[in-house]
Structure 1
Amino acid sequence: MRILVFNAGSSSLKIGVFDTGGEAGAQVVQRLKGGFGRFRDGGCTVHLQAADRSEDFTAPYADLAAATAAVPGLLADWGVTGIEAIGHRIVHGGEAHDGPATLDPETLAGIEALTPLAPLHIPANLNVVRLARAVWPDLPQVGVFDTAFHLDNPPRVTTYAVPQAWREAGLRRYGFHGTSHQYVAERAAQAMGQPLGDLRLISVHLGNGASVCAINLGQSLESSMGLTPLEGLVMGTRSGDIDPGAFGYLQRELGLSVAQIEHDLYYESGLKGLTGSADMRDVEDRAAAGDAQAQLAINLYAYRVRKYIGGYAAAMGGVDGVIFTGGIGENSASMRRRICDGLQFFGLRLDHDRNLAPDLDNYAAPHIQAYGSKVAVIVTETAEQLQIAREVAAHLARPMPAARPIPIAVSGRHVHLSADSLAALFGEGYQLTEAKPLRQPGNWVANERVTLVGPKGTLENVAILGPLRPRTQIEVSRTDSFTLGIEAPVRDSGHLEGTPEIRLVGPAGQLDTDGLIVAARHIHINPADAEAMGLEDRQLVRVRIGTGDRALTFARTLVRVQPNAFTEMHIDTDEGNAAGIGRDFVGQVAAGVEAFVGG
């Protein structure tokens, strides 16, 4: 399948033409790469590149709309034909879009309603969609949303501490640049030779728009942008973080309206507000020439990024790699150096020579940390268009899954013990005794019980599940964690690095051990059922449970394909209560399983 991708940012337009086999995971080959930027004085710079041809020139395209309108003619000039689908970067998808979507009139109306949340971006995104629909009316148009990667950030991240009526009106944090952060995280994991699900990464996207993202064990934990793309770092024309009390102060002292303040925060702030120029290249040149305002802007810019990196390292309990991407992140060695200096306290050390000239050709992701650094530092091109093409191809190729019901099992709090932990709690040589088998072959509930002791409370008579495991794992609900007084992270089974300690008490002794988690919801499924339902191992899916007022859709449900598995979905007691399901209830998925793409 040949896919044309449009990526309209706040001050640039990028395009790409890709050939793909269509199915998820298929190799994607770029046939044409293009970019329009530095709009000023009625023109812009244009870069076009194919395998055997490359051109850079200035063209009389005064803005994004003019550049977009020129694309069909440029494709014809370069002999690019046979387009079969169009992919679009859409900055804001609200709460409705956790994966790619076909851009039909209803979907476009919903996106347009989000314009107040991204006034720099959504009009440009929709203008590109309208042009593409006019030029290629018979081709599928698919949107890939910047917010989708972050949509399932935990409530402690997405919630603002504001009145309930405001929150009910939709005031929450979303996060943006999700396509970029997802791509570079996957690319960095490849460069580090480790599974993404085992890493704690911080992605630093620095361009005219800029954001930092904490990616914890393969999932977005938090992004520096919030309800809108205005929050967070200093950007080209956007302020980033600012005290919300500024609105009232500016209205009283300068007589500015809310609309004027909002306009200036989007269009007249950031580097432009500090120096008069929104282009970091100009700012760096002026700083080197002694301009004090430019020097302040650079110091402020780097300080804000460094502060977020430190905060996200703390939020994840450590960091394995920091990734620089975006126009500034990829090209400014001095900005990378300014940001990394001062992070030596958690073991990050930059190599001077590696940092000066990283080779980014062919989607390379070179390491630029010093030898002996405890944290990897990687630079890579943010291939958003490539990621969009992958997601569009997978979206269009995905067959409708068979609508098979799936039993729902509600798991109460329980413990999986290691041999050493069993001996500490019950005595040397002790053997667990089986009380009853579980539906998953080879698993059973033991007669024995333990007590969990936390700094606030105690949970008694906690079940032990067999057989023994190499490492002790304690699974509780979110409510249980408040009873204990310990914050337990949501983790896939077996992912126990950096988990908090809990005290276990048995009849023969007690033990302080890590391994306390809230188990991520998941589906055990055998290969035959997985094939019939179009599911793959480690895939994340959305599952709708129940009907009527108590129906719920559970996002980011992990699929575990296992040879002898009994097909069923496991949720904890909090999730069961939310859906009106009691312990040991066996329910059905009301509308089958819908694949979640993009996380």
Structure 2
Amino acid sequence: MSESGNGSPAVLTLNAGSSSVKWALFRMDSLPVRTATGKIERIGLRDGIVTVTDVATGHNERRIEQVPDHAASVRLLIDQLAYSGKGLSVQAIGHRVVHGGSRYADPQVVSAEVMEELRRLSPYDPEHLPAEITFIEAFGTEYPQVPQVACFDTGFHQHLPPVARLLAIPRRYETLGIRRYGFHGLSYAYLMEELERVAGRDAARGKVILAHLGNGASLAAVRDGVSIDTSMGFTPASGLPMSTRSGDLDPGLVSYLARTEGMTTEQFHHMVNAQSGLLGLSEISPDLRDLLAQEGRDARAAEAVALFCYQGKKWIGAYAAALGGLEQLVFSGGIGEHAAVVRARMCEGLEFLGIHLDREQNEANVAVISSPESRVTVRVIRTDEESQIAQSVCRLLALNEVR
């Protein structure tokens, strides 16, 4: 992949997490066209996993690599791009940045000022921001002439009303930026665009609940195309229980565990982000597929699945109340797109809201899974954060117009 000049214009998207990084290459046509994707997983563990897919041929490669840290993953990725990006000339690099704080909502061209603010925000999200900063710096060094764009996961929720934004703690902390932000914004922005495409503008401007259910899980209430509430708050650990994150907890646990077990703030942070959720409850696995396979013979697995579905149902009910009704319910994310049993259990008992699923349609994972008598249209839409990043980069830099 050349930096400029030779080859078809392309955009590279990067989504760096605490132990993984996902990437995609898009050729610039009238709309971005994905040509290759990849993922580096288990960074820092004994056996890293590198996956690369050539979209045109469908060829998929998976191999084991030693990836001791993010610096090593950067080198691996740059080497891979030299192969996957043949014939492409990268015009811009888009990064998913989980937290934009109070200052950044819209995509930003990376500058010294932006980097300074991201470093200041690192304590807001130590699970993601340090890795994202590492990748921005490394690719800035590797491709110094190529503009980089930060796309913020918090941006979709920038207009949360005060009643959904404020935390009930002393007011002075709000001036320090401590409030509810919400996350999964790139996914939600994509889902709203897709909803308008498949169902029309009126549907997308109605009363909508979006459920992004994956390793990280959250829901958002959207009215007139604007987020009015969302389950994640100041950090991505809040809201629903997730694969390894606790979701909402009684804050009194912090002082209780400090007194009784001598638990430090760092240990508590690690526990609620990496040892809790489905993994902590089941003591088996953070993967819902594993728990569904074992729930018939292991009570811990069954209870973990039941709690996840029960909490999802509660948020749907709460957001129907916040919206003053419900017209569209959209499931997405790895669990939301593929786990029919989870969708069914979350919707069970919500007939009073007008939600009725078609069992066969739900089990077939089709686009509309509600029955004809359902007042609420229940949909399954595959999310695509990488495509959303690429489109945001193109809009900001007017790359299609340059061509």
> Unpaired segments of 5 or more residues in structure 1?
360-365, 399-599
Corresponding residue number in structure 1 for 2:392: 391
* Counterpart code for 2:58: R
- Counterpart CA distance in 2 for 1:374 and 1:10 is 41
Q: Which amino acid aligns with 2:25?
A: V
| 1:377 aligned counterpart, secondary structure | strand
Residues 1:368 and 2:374 are matched in the alignment: no
2:32 alignment counterpart: 28
Query: Of 180, 189, 194, which aligns to 1:182?
Result: 189
Residue 283 of structure 1 pairs with residue 288 of structure 2: no
SS of corresponding position for 2:345: helix
Task: Tell me how many residue pairs correspond in the alignment.
Answer: 387
Equivalent position to 1:86, from 89, 93, 98 = 93
- Which of 29, 48, 56 does residue 51 from structure 1 map onto? 56
1:161 maps to 168
Off by >6 Å, runs of 4+ in structure 1: none
1:249 pairs, out of 256, 259, 266, with 256
CA distance, structure 1, for counterparts of residue 52 and residue 340 of structure 2: 22
Instruction: Look up the SS of the partner of 1:144 in the other structure.
Output: strand
1:500-553 per-position Cα deviation (integer Å, ceiling 9, x unaligned): xxxxxxxxxxxxxxxxxxxxxxxxxxxxxxxxxxxxxxxxxxxxxxxxxxxxxx
Q: How well do the aligned residues superpose, as a CA RMSD in angstroms?
A: 2.0
SS at match of 1:114: helix
- CA deviation after TM superposition for structure 1 residue 225, in Å: 0.7
- 2:26 corresponds to which letter in structure 1? F
Partner of 1:18: 26
* Displacement of 1:285: 2.2
Specify which of 310, 313, 316 is matched with residue 320 of structure 2: 313
User: Displacement of 1:153 after TM fit?
Assistant: 0.6
Write the distance in 2 (CA, Å) between the matches of 1:377 and 1:226.
Answer: 25
CA contact (8 A) 2:97 2:129 kept: yes
> 1:145/1:261 Cα in 2 relative to 1: closer, same or farther (>3 Å)?
same
| Structure 2 counterpart of 1:215 | 222
Which secondary structure does the structure 2 equivalent of 1:168 belong to?
A: helix
State which drifts further: 210-219 or 122-131.
122-131
Structure 2 SS opposite 1:203: strand
Q: Secondary structure at the match of 1:172?
A: coil
CA distance 1:109–1:316, change in 2 (3 Å): same
Structure 1 distance, partners of 2:286, 2:170, is 36
2:77 is aligned with what amino acid? V
Structure 1 equivalent of residue 378 of structure 2 = 377
More helix by proportion, 1 or 2?
2
Select 2:148's aligned residue among 118, 141, 144. 141
Aligned to 1:70: 76
1:170–1:110 CA distance, 2 compared to 1 (3 A): same
Q: Is the 8 A contact 2:25 2:35 kept in 1?
A: yes
Q: 1:339 to 1:112 in 2, by over 3 A?
A: same
1:202 and 2:209 are equivalent in the alignment:
yes
Deviations 1:539-592 (A, max 9, x none): xxxxxxxxxxxxxxxxxxxxxxxxxxxxxxxxxxxxxxxxxxxxxxxxxxxxxx
Instruction: Please state whether the residue corresponding to 2:100 is helix, strand or coil.
Output: coil
Residues 1:95 and 2:102 aligned together: yes
Q: 1:337-357 CA distances to partner (integer Å, 9 max, x unpaired)?
A: 211212211111111221223
How far apart are the structure 2 equivalents of 1:185 and 1:69? 35
Provide the residue aligned with 1:335 in structure 2.
342
Q: Which amino acid aligns with 1:32?
A: A
TM-score w.r.t. the length of structure 2 is 0.90
Q: Which residue of 2 aligns with 1:408?
A: none
Pick closer, same or farther for the CA change 1:372–1:189 going to 2, 3 Å.
farther
SS in 2 for 1:113: helix
TM-score (norm 1): 0.62
Find the counterpart in structure 2 of residue 500 from structure 1: none
Give, in whole Å, the separation in 2 of the partners of 1:140 and 1:324.
34
Residues 21-73 of structure 1: per-residue CA shift (max 9 Å, x gap):
5xxxx522222232344676512251413122320423215467244432222
2:12, 2:23 within 8 Å by CA — same for their partners in 1?
A: yes
Separation in 2, partners of 1:215, 1:10: 29
The answer for unaligned runs of 5 or more in structure 2 is 1-8
1:121 Cα offset (Å): 1.0
Post-superposition shift, 1:194? Answer: 3.5
Distance 2:370 2:48 in 1: 39
Give, in whole Å, the separation in 2 of the partners of 1:143 and 1:226: 21
The structural deviation recorded for 1:243 is 0.8
Structure 1 residue corresponding to 2:158, chosen from 140, 151, 164: 151
Alignment check: 8 A CA contact 1:323 1:378 kept: yes
Amino acid in structure 2 at the alignment position of 1:285: A
Deviations 1:161-198 (A, max 9, x none): 11122222322110011010111122123222334553
2:3 corresponds to which residue? Answer: none
Question: For the residues of structure 2 that align with 1:211 and 1:15, how far apart are their CA atoms?
Answer: 23
Letter in 2 for 1:177: H
**Code of the aligned partner of 1:18:** F
Work out the CA distance in 1 between the residues paired with 2:327 and 2:26: 32
List per-residue Cα deviations over 1:101-144 (Å, max 9, x = no partner): 11112211211221222111112211221221122111000000
Report the 3-state secondary structure (helix = DSSP H, G, I; strand = E; otherwise coil) of the residue aligned with 1:181. Answer: helix
Structure 2 CA distance for partners of 1:218 and 1:187, relative to 1, 3 Å: same
Give the structure with the larger strand fraction: 1
Give the Å deviation of 1:85: 0.5
Equivalences for residues 289-304 of structure 1 within 5 A: 290-304=297-311
The match for 1:8 is: 16
8 Å CA contact 1:185, 1:201 repeated in 2: no
Identity percentage of aligned residues: 38
* Cα distance change of structure 1 residues 49 and 202 upon mapping to structure 2, 3 Å threshold: farther
Larger Rg: 1
Counterpart code for 2:83: D
What is the distance in 2 between the residues matched to 1:330 and 1:312?
Answer: 20
